[in-house]
Chain A
């Protein structure tokens, strides 16, 4: 038995091994990020004679592009830590972008969806988007906790339904003419600020609150968590509602950034968000993962895309390589776990 050996080992663990333990797991991922950036830097000088890193404009665009994925990913990470998955976030972005935009139209716009509800204060559309997302997540959570269907199926259902709803809402028409007070949240550095604020809040929540401890416990062993007195069903509903809420927030930011909303917004975002979490070290088997890792994972996705564009690589190749990198990240995770189990 491995535990036999390791138990004895734990008594005389070498100092080196202990130091190793103290290194945050994100350190590895961070090194990967640095590595990828350096590769682009070198290729940049070799192929097109430009610096990749020392270009503030490029870095700004890159981080802006990934903030929406990042906001979603913070929620998705928590869902994955419980041992679940959320496939609905991309569609929820589309739906909440439409909903919030419809309450953010300016009175100067001639074709407002609700002519009597124009020029609303900024918190109304934002609140509508966030609440709608939370409701979608709450429904996911209810389905999973009460009917015991797998999260994959529940959120797949929500993914299709929410996308359908966002198309039905305006019969496919985009929602435009958004007021400046609303689009403000999508301008400048604001999306990044929202992303980092969300990341900070949930980093603290996961590490220092009871909510976080219970989230990890459920992912590590649902049955043991239940016997320890955790109301697993209620907690799962909470986690999915939070993930939905963050997808809703991402929808708001998307609409504000684009200054319009379309039913097709956020397609495939759920997969990017899951990829960011997994690249950041969140284990799909539950119980392990950190927001800091997810943030780095998100930035890695951004750097990859931005780097390809910088090197003028065809979009087709971008997707092919992105897919392989995601798989490689999971392979590395499995390998790490195996090594740990043996040690």
Chain B
């Protein structure tokens, strides 16, 4: 018998909840999109009071499964059971009312509304005139925040909050629904270590209250730190479920990729040449101060630091997206003025930005249009006309070289997976044949396989004598890839570490100094 969502919601409200071992189960769930099987008869079980991690490369089907469980997609086949009773969720609202809340990777908050308004939207407390009782709303928010140990002003506008705090608001909102099941889609991708610790504390508290948490992540350490169980998916198929205590990191990687990844960070020793870029006392008022460093040909300079340490701002300033207040930039010993990305490109610089969607991809345009856009500044154009035939040949070669998975150059970039989108953007810059390559979080939110390939590409660029600046929040990446590491804290450079001496502890020490 299928219980209607509204009946189930009513049962839940009355407190007479059947006590099942599994909070949420999915059996033989199938979901097809035109031309693709996103979920191929997948099963999943969530025990009460546990954190269940979902692992898999991008495109493995974990997000699709979560969207089925959260009522965003309806499965073509298969059953979803909530506490043992079969249920059909027709919308996210259905799911919410049945105690299933999802925290999306892209935060879904309204920037111009206050924290409290965002949390209680659709459930605003009313006063006796039927108008919104803001005082009561703020009081409830404070109570909720107190419970979660979050320190955010309920009256602040969400748009003014940091990404980490917005994440906390999202979590508080999900908790405010008194949900039994919380689905978190890569919640730590934009958080610093300290914030991650805080989040994990919240998750542990929720777990002891009997809430089941589904946790999608790409980060292996998180799995061991927080998850009780994990399930692995690959190419839309369910591979297996294990307790996280009974496996090793390598086991999981093997399950995820179906092959062994021997070299995660293949930075090879290449001859390091002359100084290409030299930055002296660069300042951006109120953001960063007295930043000085050199990068040499063939060298990878890692930039570590917490979110908000000014790393990305330095990159943007170098590339002319924002202008520096003072300081000098020298290329090959010549002082240059970089007032716009156009000038930066003319000096053969390239900049892979932090946010693939906001500042990288032209999502609704195709692969070719995305790849060619930077190189068109000064190549493949004759009397204003784009030399399309020649250019598409070059782009096709690039796709092959970067192993971009796309049916053709005419595929819209929004239809590619995150890893492939990132490769298209790397292709965009490789076409310009840069001498200085700035990478800001080059592997954020992409799967293990694509990550390794991007590392390989970066190394190859270094081998060709490109000077690379790589900003990354992932410690193993910084430690594994960099020849030297520059650490920043609150807008200042706190130190440099050579590859040989750098350890996680030393970097963290400098980053929090």
A217 touching B319 in the complex, CB below 8 Å, given contacts A5-B38, A229-B344: no
B414–A3 touching, CB < 8 Å:
yes
User: Which A residues are in CB contact (< 8 Å) with B411?
Assistant: 10
CB distance from A293 to the nearest CB of B (A): 15
A202 to B473, CA, bound (A): 46
A13 to B384, CA, bound (A): 35
A228 touching B58 in the complex, CB below 8 Å, given contacts A3-B415, A213-B386, A216-B365: no
| In the complex, chain A residues 9-62 whose Cβ is within 8 Å of any chain B Cβ | 9-14, 17-18, 21
Q: Does A108 contact B (CB under 8 A)?
A: no
Q: Does A226 contact B (CB under 8 A)?
A: yes
Q: Does A342 contact B (CB under 8 A)?
A: yes
A228–B374 touching, CB < 8 Å:
yes
Q: Does A316 contact B (CB under 8 A)?
A: no
Q: Which residue of A lies closest to B416 (CB)?
A: A7
A9 touching B373 in the complex, CB below 8 Å, given contacts A4-B60, A231-B342: no
Q: Which residue of A lies closest to B39 (CB)?
A: A5
A208 touching B58 in the complex, CB below 8 Å, given contacts A221-B361, A224-B362: no
User: Which A residues are in CB contact (< 8 Å) with B420?
Assistant: 7
User: Which B residues are in CB contact (< 8 Å) with A224?
Assistant: 353, 358-362
A229 touching B341 in the complex, CB below 8 Å, given contacts A3-B418, A216-B369, A217-B373: yes
Which single member of B67, B353, B372, B388 contacts A227 (CB below 8 Å)? B353
B363–A221 touching, CB < 8 Å:
yes
Known pairs A8-B417, A229-B377 / 8 extra A-B pairs, C-beta < 8 Å: A5-B36, A6-B36, A6-B414, A9-B38, A10-B407, A212-B386, A213-B369, A287-B364
B386–A210 touching, CB < 8 Å:
yes
A-contacting residues of B (Cβ < 8 Å)? 31, 33-38, 58-64, 67, 105, 235-236, 319, 321, 340-342, 344-345, 351, 353, 358-365, 369, 372-374, 376-377, 381, 384-386, 388, 405-408, 410-411, 414-418, 420-421, 428
Interface string of A214-236 (1 = CB under 8 A from B): 10110011011111111100000
User: Which A residues are in CB contact (< 8 Å) with B417?
Assistant: 3-4, 6-8
CB distance from A18 to the nearest CB of B (A): 7
Q: Does A237 contact B (CB under 8 A)?
A: no
Interface string of A312-343 (1 = CB under 8 A from B): 00000000000000000000000000000111
Q: Does A288 contact B (CB under 8 A)?
A: yes
CB distance from A232 to the nearest CB of B (A): 10
CB distance from A235 to the nearest CB of B (A): 11
Number of A residues, CB within 8 Å of B: 41
Q: Does A173 contact B (CB under 8 A)?
A: no
B385–A208 touching, CB < 8 Å:
yes
A106 to B363, CA, bound (A): 55
User: Which A residues are in CB contact (< 8 Å) with B321?
Assistant: 226-227
A21 to B35, CA, bound (A): 13
User: Which A residues are in CB contact (< 8 Å) with B364?
Assistant: 220, 287-288
A10–B342 touching, CB < 8 Å:
no
User: Which A residues are in CB contact (< 8 Å) with B359?
Assistant: 221, 223-224, 227
A9 touching B34 in the complex, CB below 8 Å, given contacts A21-B410, A230-B373: yes
User: Which B residues are in CB contact (< 8 Å) with A220?
Assistant: 362-365
User: Which B residues are in CB contact (< 8 Å) with A181?
Assistant: none
A210–B374 touching, CB < 8 Å:
no
Q: Which residue of A lies closest to B357 (CB)?
A: A221
User: Which A residues are in CB contact (< 8 Å) with B374?
Assistant: 228-229
B105–A6 touching, CB < 8 Å:
no
A10 to B420, CA, bound (A): 11
B341–A217 touching, CB < 8 Å:
no
A342 to B414, CA, bound (A): 11
A231 touching B340 in the complex, CB below 8 Å, given contacts A7-B417, A213-B369: yes
User: Which B residues are in CB contact (< 8 Å) with A13?
Assistant: 35-36, 407
A228 to B359, CA, bound (A): 9
CB distance from B173 to the nearest CB of A (A): 20
User: Which A residues are in CB contact (< 8 Å) with B340?
Assistant: 229, 231
CB distance from B314 to the nearest CB of A (A): 15
The 7 A-B residue pairs with the shortest CB-CB distance in the complex, in nearest-first order: A9-B36, A7-B417, A5-B38, A220-B362, A1-B63, A229-B345, A6-B415
A7 touching B414 in the complex, CB below 8 Å, given contacts A226-B341, A228-B428: no
Q: Does A211 contact B (CB under 8 A)?
A: yes
CB distance from A7 to the nearest CB of B (A): 3
User: Which A residues are in CB contact (< 8 Å) with B344?
Assistant: 229
A13 to B421, CA, bound (A): 18
A14–B58 touching, CB < 8 Å:
no
Q: Does A209 contact B (CB under 8 A)?
A: yes
User: Which A residues are in CB contact (< 8 Å) with B385?
Assistant: 208-210
A226 to B376, CA, bound (A): 13
Which single member of B38, B342, B353, B369 contacts A8 (CB below 8 Å)? B38
A221 to B61, CA, bound (A): 28
A287 to B417, CA, bound (A): 21
User: Which B residues are in CB contact (< 8 Å) with A212?
Assistant: 386
